[in-house]
């Protein structure tokens, strides 16, 4: 894996790369609290088959800049960043892959920017929830409280301790991979290291899939507007796939090819080889531009 940097809407973003630059381009979007290198197992396999895989650290994640006091982490913020990445990737349409929240971004971009996408792969996509039965004053109070008292970053004694945390969270990681990943995802400070991830992302009151712009019905309409070949990949043991959400996806994407892989919600880590194979199949079964 190599890394390059791109300034997107005034913020530096780290882009993870695998494979030859002249290979068919696969753009992978990670989920919330993840990072571009989370695609390493999938991307390494694809790179061996000649693909060029690019996976950005989304704003506030990985090594990319935080949103800052004047920025946010709403749906439109992430969409705007990725939409400004197209000129850097080149003129050819891409195979767009998204996991979890990244799948929401990928689906919306495919619906609205179909000229930039050749085919779409949605991995464990989440669906915007129905608006909670909470009065407006309570919602605004929660947002104001989160803005007034943002969470502090967690300080760890060492990179080794960070690696132990990662091993506990991702059982498929090897100790060597966890150590390498911990070094990438932390930065040194007095008294140890801290995660580079913006702690604001862990305060869910500051994060909304809808950002006030999208409800379930609106999301369904966007999915129905997708004209590119679409593949839906679900985890056999995932606890995120509620029956009502799966029904919305299947109703809104009747043309989609569906696969199920062994594993939970985190399929890029749980089943990287199987996921890479599915991505390859979606490309080779469709004519390239």
pLDDT per position as a tens digit, 57-69: 999 999 999 998 8
Give the number of other CB atoms < 10 A from CB of residue 216: 17
* pLDDT at residue 286 is higher than 90: no
The pair of structure tokens assigned to 206 is 């500051």
The pLDDT value recorded for residue 82 is 98
d(CA 226, CA 49): 28
* pLDDT at residue 120 is higher than 70: yes
The pair of structure tokens assigned to 150 is 């943002």
d(CA 264, CA 20): 31
d(CA 16, CA 32): 17
Question: Who's near 172: CB < 8 A, 6+ residues apart?
Answer: 269, 270
What integer best gives the mean pLDDT of the chain?
91
Residue 132: pLDDT band by 50, 70, 90 thresholds?
Answer: low
The pLDDT value recorded for residue 288 is 45
C-beta of residue 219 within 8 angstroms of C-beta of residue 238? no
- The DSSP symbol for 15 reads E
C-beta of residue 178 within 8 angstroms of C-beta of residue 241? no
Residue 89: pLDDT band by 50, 70, 90 thresholds?
Answer: very high
Integer CA distances (angstroms), 287 to 135, 183, 227, in order? 51, 40, 15
Q: Label the pairing between strands 52-56 and 25-29.
A: parallel
The pLDDT value recorded for residue 247 is 95
Which residues belong to CATH 3.40.50.1820 in the chain?
Answer: 2-135+208-284
Chain segment 154-189, per-residue pLDDT in tens: 889 999 999 999 999 888 889 999 999 999 999 999
The pLDDT value recorded for residue 135 is 64
Q: What is the pTM of this model?
A: 0.92
Chain segment 222-273, per-residue pLDDT in tens: 999 999 999 999 999 999 888 999 999 999 999 999 999 999 999 999 999 9
* pLDDT at residue 38 is higher than 80: yes
* pLDDT at residue 115 is higher than 80: yes
**Superfamily of the domain at 2-135+208-284:** Alpha/Beta hydrolase fold, catalytic domain (3.40.50.1820)
d(CA 200, CA 68): 10
d(CA 3, CA 213): 33
């Amino acid at each position: 894996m190599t890394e390059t940097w791109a300034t997107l809407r005034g913020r530096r973003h780290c882009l993870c790369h695998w494979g030859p630059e002249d290979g068919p381009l696969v753009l992978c979007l990670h989920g919330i609290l993840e990072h571009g290198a989370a695609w390493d197992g999938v991307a390494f396999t694809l790179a061996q088959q000649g693909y060029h895989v690019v996976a950005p650290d989304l704003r506030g994640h990985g090594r990319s800049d935080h949103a800052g006091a004047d920025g946010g982490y709403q749906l439109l913020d992430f969409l705007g960043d990725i939409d400004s990445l197209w000129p850097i990737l080149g003129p050819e349409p891409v195979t767009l892959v998204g996991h979890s929240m990244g799948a929401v971004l990928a689906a919306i971009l495919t619906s609205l920017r179909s000229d930039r996408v050749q085919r779409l792969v949605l991995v464990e996509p989440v669906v915007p929830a129905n608006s909670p039965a909470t009065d407006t004053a309570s919602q605004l109070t929660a947002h104001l409280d989160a803005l007034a008292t943002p969470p502090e970053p967690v300080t760890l004694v060492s990179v080794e301790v960070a690696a132990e945390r990662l091993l506990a969270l991702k059982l498929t990681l090897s100790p060597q991979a966890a150590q390498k990943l911990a070094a990438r995802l932390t930065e040194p400070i007095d008294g140890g290291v801290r995660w580079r991830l913006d702690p604001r992302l862990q305060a869910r009151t500051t994060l909304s899939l809808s950002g006030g712009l999208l409800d379930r019905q609106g999301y369904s309409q966007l999915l129905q507007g997708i004209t590119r070949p679409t593949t839906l990949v679900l985890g056999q043991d995932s606890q995120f796939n509620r029956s009502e959400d799966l029904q919305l996806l299947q109703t809104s994407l009747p043309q989609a090819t569906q696969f199920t892989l062994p594993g939970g919600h985190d399929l890029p880590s749980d089943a990287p080889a199987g996921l890479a194979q599915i991505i390859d199949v979606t490309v080779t079964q469709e004519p390239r531009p």
